Structure 1
Amino acid sequence: MTLVRTLLGLPELRLRLRAGGDLLDREVTRIYVTELPDPSRYVTRGELVLSGLLWWHAPGDAEPFVAALAEAGCAALAASGADSGGIPSDLVSTCERHRIPLVEVPADLSFAVITERVVLALAAESDGARKRLLSAAAETASLPELLASGAAELGADCWVRSATGRVVAGSTPRSPRDRAVVTVGGRHAVPWTLVVDAELSGGRAEIADELASLVGLARAREDEVRAVRTRVAEPLLALLRDRSAADPAELASAFASTGLPSGARLRVLAASTPAAPIAGDVLGELLAEHPAPFFAGAGDDPGSALAVAVDAEWPSGWASDAEAGLARLGPGRLLVGTGGPAPLSGLRGAAEEALHAVGVAERGATRVAVVSGERLGPLTLLLAGAPDDLRRALRDRVLGPLLEQNPELLHTLRVFLECSGSPAKAAKALHVHVNTLRYRMARAGELLGVDVTDFRTQVDLYLALTIDP
């Protein structure tokens, strides 16, 4: 049995007890890393909760966090105060009050190291297949190697697949065979499953369950590494989220801290998921197999996220493939916009393009949409950034008489403009005589009080026609 006391006794971890000295015999069954201010929906009994205290800003912030751990029956809290100058006294007293053991993690110790050592401690309690699998998980960060060990124990190939249908890794390159599916633990918007090419029962079922648990731990380690990388890019993402003007030198400095090549062409992705705060996971999933570096982080509200990626081998059918994958994630709208490619000097513009593309998707009726800014056209992008009231006012002012009095003329005008103002092409598209088309256009001009053959007027009319009611 791995106890809190056991972990404190590991000299290489250098953990320091700060609260709960009489509670060290609590059993640790698993690890969970979180920076949520209130993790009550996700923590479970026996967990050693790791946190970098990114959620703590002022006295009182510790109450909902520690209360959630106590309510769930968590084993202990291991916290690092590297970003705040140490463990806040508010957190110490709150842990004492809720009877949650609190240990301080040295600022120079990675959570990944703690995760690996706990996994090793758990492995010491088991034997046979379970022990070998745990050892494999502790000794390598490679998910394919872990699955290869699992396949050897199961006597069957196995794969990890995400909820979008993406094959994350496998013990063999061939396509998965779903003879058995086991849920991989973890709190993710895009869950994983373990797919096994064998019927599961008895000891084989236990091995599969253990393997699925270890895959969850491997994913947690990857999440920790990604979180550290995202912290490096947070200043850049914050500047892109702030839609006010930014100092180019400040933007260049924030970009340089990411380590991305300065001469790279870049794309920006924006996501909006009003149903739940899962946008960051969505962008991470969409870019999981991107061959070039990327950073994804939170947006300016809980249901949004932003990502910056080096533009490399971007498939032409990426948007449609992404939509198909996201459609598998279940209920709730999932909207993604892309901007770029652009150099560093145009990165803010690419971010605006991505955000406006999301705005265009939000005005549509589809549940899942991936909209590329470069395919929308300049007029649509410009209108996407205008307030709804201004858009409607423009539409009513330019098209008012036709909107209420003559929908047939409105449709004819739309077809005429989409045919580049050619009476012959428009008449053919509408299946009417060209003289009928000319009459209708003249009548539309009379009602609107404009010359519909004038180019600037046509631009205004077409702009108004692109605005949704």
Structure 2
Amino acid sequence: MTLVKTLLEIPELRLRLRTGSALLDRAVSRIYVTELPDPSRYVSAGEVVLTGLLWWRRPGDAEPFVAALARAGVAALAASGADTEGIPDDVVRACARHRIPLLEVPADLSFAVITERVVLALAADRGREPSGARKRLLSSADAPLPVLLRQGAQELGAPCWVLSATGRVVGGTAPEAPPVEWYTPGRERVVADRYTLLPVGGRFAVPWVLAVGSPETGELADELAGLLSLARARAEQVRRTADRAAEPLFGALGSGAGDLAAAFAATGRAEPVRVVVLRTPDDEPALAAELLAELVADVPASLGSLGDDACAVIEADEQWPDTARARLSTVDLFVEVSRVYAGISGPATVDGLRGAAQEALHAAEVAARRSQRLAVVAGEDVAVHRLLVAGAPDELRRSVRERVLGGLLAYDAAQGTDLVHTVRVFLECSSSPTAAAKALHVHVNTLRYRIARASELLGLDLNDFRTQVDVYLALQAG
């Protein structure tokens, strides 16, 4: 029987016990990798949970994570503190409090090596040598996802694909991947048509699914799904390292200060770019960041935050907003979120990047006002005058509205009239008295009288084009 202390005795793993010396006789059933802040839905009794601590941000974060492991009855927690300069004391204390053995993983040791050794130890306990196919698959455990998929397809004798919850084909060994919608969340495997679909486990809120082009698969497909989870975790660590290099760019965008051109050059992005802002109203910034990372996964992108919003600067073509809409359309099948809305700027050079960020923020606000659960608005979809007004500070908009429209607003309030509405309709009808009168269901002479009266109150000539522009922008500022 493989026990927790068995893992400590494997020389090449170099695991170090941090707490739980009296709990090392717990039996190990399998190994599971996760970085979810709350892994309670995915862990089970007897597992050794392997984590890179990417969910840990500050003291207090360890309590809900470790408590979930304790409720599930896991055998131990194995953690690598490579990204946190060692395992935080907060994690050690939580493990001691909840009686979870804590094993420290050397920062230079691959999770794939740990997984392979634990799997081999468990196989030996069951009295059966791993098959040749399984050994060959495990030998590819450290390989990039495309190589791992090719090896899996060869051993399974069927094409394989990895699908994202966004519908994106992450990788595959043949064309014509099945739709991700065929998979039912929460199921271990789903057989649909001539395919088998299995969850790729791990810490991610936006799941991946392994699709195998055969309705009959055995444990080897489950093994492949587990190794793909490790491959995704490795790719995520690489992305997070790249994101740290982009932090000065998002700092300069958010503050309006700093050398934006130098920060942009450091990311290696090529002009023109778009700025993308994604929000969820559930106060889950980690979920928004992961959704955005999946949304832009196959275009050159730098990810970070703009205030409280997940943000990306991407190289993308003019069709990309339509691609984003299509990808978000499947997310609610897999992710528990009440709403998702995104704003996308038009193409911009580095000189226009701050303006593009404001454009994306305003487009996100427009998306938030729409009724759809999943809404994407591109800057090209928003009228220029709205973008100009949206970019002005609130105090300036109020001041302009009062300065330009104050006399008219006061008259309407005192007389119970609505000349402001008449002026708005008149301008939106291209200053055509006939068209405006028809829209307001009044005689054209009545319309002309009202516009003349409004001009008197405003002290302006509403038939002058430049005046019309000023008044219309003031109307939009309200």
My pick for the range that moved more, 41-50 or 360-369, is: 41-50
**Within 5 A, what are the aligned runs for 1:150-299?**
150-176=152-178, 179=193, 180-184=195-199, 185-200=201-216, 204-240=217-253, 243-248=254-259, 251=260, 254-255=263-264, 258-260=266-268, 264-275=271-282, 277=284, 278-290=287-299, 292=300, 294-298=301-305
Q: Give the C-alpha shift of residue 175 in structure 1.
A: 4.4
Is 2:118 the counterpart of 1:117?
no
Q: Which residue of 1 aligns with 2:70?
A: 70
Q: Give the C-alpha shift of residue 374 in structure 1.
A: 4.9
Q: Give the C-alpha shift of residue 172 in structure 1.
A: 0.7
How far apart in 1 are the matches of 2:166 and 2:57?
Answer: 34
Kept after mapping to 1: 8 A contact 2:161/2:171: yes
Kept after mapping to 2: 8 A contact 1:159/1:171: yes
What are the superposed Cα offsets for residues 120-153 of structure 1, whole Å, 9 maximum, x if unpaired?
541562623761474255142123x433344344
Partner SS for 1:305:
strand
Q: Number of aligned residue pairs: give it.
A: 441
Kept after mapping to 2: 8 A contact 1:47/1:74: yes
Q: Give the C-alpha shift of residue 387 in structure 1.
A: 7.4
Partner SS for 2:246:
helix
Kept after mapping to 2: 8 A contact 1:158/1:170: yes
Kept after mapping to 1: 8 A contact 2:197/2:211: yes
Alignment CA distance shift 1:191-1:51 (3 Å): closer
Aligned AA (2:374): V
How far apart in 1 are the matches of 2:208 and 2:57?
Answer: 30
Alignment CA distance shift 1:295-1:69 (3 Å): farther
Kept after mapping to 2: 8 A contact 1:76/1:100: yes
Aligned AA (1:182): L
**Within 5 A, what are the aligned runs for 1:53-452?**
55=56, 57-58=58-59, 62-81=62-81, 85-107=85-107, 109=108, 113-123=110-120, 125=123, 127-128=130-131, 131-132=134-135, 134-135=137-138, 137-143=140-146, 145-176=147-178, 179=193, 180-184=195-199, 185-200=201-216, 204-240=217-253, 243-248=254-259, 251=260, 254-255=263-264, 258-260=266-268, 264-275=271-282, 277=284, 278-290=287-299, 292=300, 294-298=301-305, 300-301=307-308, 304-309=309-314, 311=315, 314-330=316-332, 332-339=338-345, 341-385=347-391, 400=409, 405=417, 410=421, 416-418=426-428, 420-421=430-431, 426=435, 440-447=447-454, 449-450=457-458, 451-452=461-462
Aligned AA (2:66): V
Kept after mapping to 1: 8 A contact 2:33/2:203: no
Alignment CA distance shift 1:189-1:299 (3 Å): farther
How far apart in 1 are the matches of 2:378 and 2:324?
Answer: 11
Kept after mapping to 2: 8 A contact 1:417/1:458: yes
Q: Which residue of 2 aligns with 1:30?
A: 31
> What RMSD in Å do the two structures reach over aligned CA positions?
4.0
Unaligned runs of 5+ in 2: 124-128, 180-191
Q: Give the C-alpha shift of residue 272 in structure 1.
A: 0.6
Aligned AA (1:354): A
Aligned AA (2:116): V
Alignment CA distance shift 1:89-1:279 (3 Å): closer
Q: Give the C-alpha shift of residue 316 in structure 1.
A: 2.2
What are the superposed Cα offsets for residues 4-31 of structure 1, whole Å, 9 maximum, x if unpaired?
4444344444332221223334426233
Q: Which residue of 2 aligns with 1:14?
A: 14
My pick for the range that moved more, 188-197 or 385-394, is: 385-394
How far apart in 2 are the matches of 1:322 and 1:197?
Answer: 27
Alignment CA distance shift 1:280-1:44 (3 Å): farther
What are the superposed Cα offsets for residues 211-233 of structure 1, whole Å, 9 maximum, x if unpaired?
43443333233223323332333
Unaligned runs of 5+ in 1: none
Partner SS for 1:138:
coil
How far apart in 1 are the matches of 2:234 and 2:119?
Answer: 16
Q: Please report the TM-score for the alignment, with normalisation by the length of structure 2.
A: 0.75
Alignment CA distance shift 1:463-1:132 (3 Å): farther
What are the superposed Cα offsets for residues 402-452 of structure 1, whole Å, 9 maximum, x if unpaired?
897559x94x7556534544568x47x96999x965752542442473432
Kept after mapping to 2: 8 A contact 1:357/1:384: no
Alignment CA distance shift 1:379-1:154 (3 Å): same
Partner SS for 2:211:
strand
Aligned AA (2:213): D
How far apart in 2 are the matches of 1:222 and 1:390?
Answer: 46
Aligned AA (1:197): G
Q: Which residue of 1 aligns with 2:188?
A: none
My pick for the range that moved more, 376-385 or 160-169, is: 376-385
How far apart in 1 are the matches of 2:44 and 2:97?
Answer: 20
How far apart in 2 are the matches of 1:386 and 1:44?
Answer: 53
My pick for the range that moved more, 383-392 or 26-35, is: 383-392
Match of 2:463 among 449, 453, 456: 453
Q: Give the C-alpha shift of residue 99 in structure 1.
A: 1.8
Partner SS for 1:22:
helix
Q: Give the C-alpha shift of residue 40 in structure 1.
A: 4.8
What are the superposed Cα offsets for residues 372-402 of structure 1, whole Å, 9 maximum, x if unpaired?
2355344312433567898789779577578
Kept after mapping to 2: 8 A contact 1:2/1:29: no
Aligned AA (1:462): Y
* Stretches of 4+ aligned residues off by more than 6 angstroms: 387-396, 401-404
